[in-house]
Chain A
């Protein structure tokens, strides 16, 4: 189990600058195998799986503490939160938490927000002690989340209620809840707006964070699931899960003009981007991670465990700024 000392040390250092220590870390990818109850550690240089670390049942998503010393991995089915050293992938223990499916630290590092999808809870934990501060039951199947950079608001997609809910982080009270489309999933704060993927439609919507009004609808592909931004190269990516044709869509982050479509079979889900700009994509049905060259569109695959869901590349530790699963 995680020790109190470790829990208290999670957010101690707020510095978001890469350390020399991080520069020296061996490049590792962490693939979270949601149907195998494990995390595959991959050597990014040789593209070979090095070892498998166990979790209880169903690891899905991750969050990095602000001091960049602990990688938190959700295990919803096992009601567990697992900790790893992001540099070495050494396990640092686990803690029992109700149904953590998706999580993120607020930018001011005050709270750890956890979406408990199955249990319909949006939980806010104290980032320092991981003690539960407030629980919301705002709707069905809270799925993905993001925050305003000033830590005033959080935004959570409610997959089965077809809505987006916003929480005021100063008062921990619900601001609004608005219908945004059929089965909303990925959420991203982007240039003062909220982008929400709509799985039951063919793309994502842009929402005004002040009042929850939809301002634009952008078509990418069937079953748009999650949205990411490559902060170094300034490209938006949307993973489209189908039915039928699946893949990634690259967009201009200002105009939302589609730059390129990458057809990828095998159920693409979360992605990571390495220092060379290659995109590492979890392929849920193929039990593999694809490494895609965005210039050529070619990709190779690395076998991992069953149903890889989230992916963390520790090469991100070398980069300055805020690291979240969607800002890569």
Chain B
């Protein structure tokens, strides 16, 4: 049995004996078809976490950039990861995305426009799902580069994103450490792109996990670069430079998540062979060592303050 089939079996089992009884009991059987997709997302998410853990943990022990006496600050990142990959967030995101996508597509169709898919737009692409997947991966990674770069450019947006940068003990668990509002912005960002080029094909979930794996490894506390392949795929060294104390805030570098080519093209790449300490010197301590709720509250407070400052600088809210 191949891996893909095994995951389907596990998701089917989970659907049949855990999810469907709940849906049946609550009279939500209309969601029956989608429930299997939710289960698949959770099964794949769990697998991704296990593989990342199995690969990165030995590497972090073998060639760590930093050795920490106390790993308590990492624990909250573990919670972020489980919440984002296996827990509530993927299911909520899935439902929200589904609802938003259908609502907006219906609106467009009512006005005579049927949203296309990339493989229906680009001649020669249809019938080559792997090529289609790669093109989607490149476009979405480019979009993520600009989302990330803009999140450093606006004061109010960086106030949210600073939660991700505040971690001084950066490890492979840190990839999903984000403020909920920052996740919401990312959701709408990719939602808009999805409307323009269609939803990417899901024929290659393992490849999709591979891309997510690259992102997780890039956050790992490992002294590792990919040598001559550094320009091809984001390495722990490359991304650590982005998280370096010198790079936090509005003048950063190495924004790419998977493919450094965007940093090269848009002139923000820095390939120096240095392993900097990570963190954001200006971040309040609650953002660094606080629990999940404390971090979310501190991020929200920073966001409000930054927004107020931005409005004040524009003259909004001043008495006449």
Contact = CB atoms under 8 A, between A and B. Distances in A.
Interface of A: 35-38, 54, 56-57, 77-80, 94, 96-99, 116, 118-121, 141, 159-160, 182-183, 199-200, 222-223, 225, 241-244, 246, 265-267, 284-287, 303, 306-307
A244 B17 contact: yes
Contacts of A38: 129, 203
How many chain B residues sit at the interface, stated as a range, is 35 or more
Q: Provide the main secondary structure of the chain B interface.
A: helix
B16 interface: yes
A241 B32 CA distance: 9
Interface string B220-259: 0000000000000000000000000000000000000000
Q: Most chain-A Cβ atoms within 10 A of its Cβ — which of B8, B105, B129, B198? A: B8
A78 B117 contact: yes
Interface string B100-129: 001001100100001111011000001101
B134 to A, nearest CB: 15
B117 A285 contact: no
B15 to A, nearest CB: 7
Interface of B: 4-5, 8-9, 11-13, 15-17, 20-21, 23-24, 27, 29-30, 32, 36-37, 40, 98, 102, 105-106, 109, 114-117, 119-120, 126-127, 129, 198-199, 201-203
Contacts of B102: 118-119
A256 B21 CA distance: 27
A317 to B, nearest CB: 26
Nearest to A120: B106
Given A57-B201, A118-B105, A285-B16, A183 B29 contact: yes
A307 B32 CA distance: 13
B29 A80 contact: no
A243 B127 CA distance: 36
12 contacts: A36-B203, A37-B129, A57-B198, A96-B116, A98-B109, A99-B109, A118-B105, A118-B106, A160-B30, A183-B29, A223-B29, A284-B36
Contacts of A243: 16-17, 20-21, 23-24
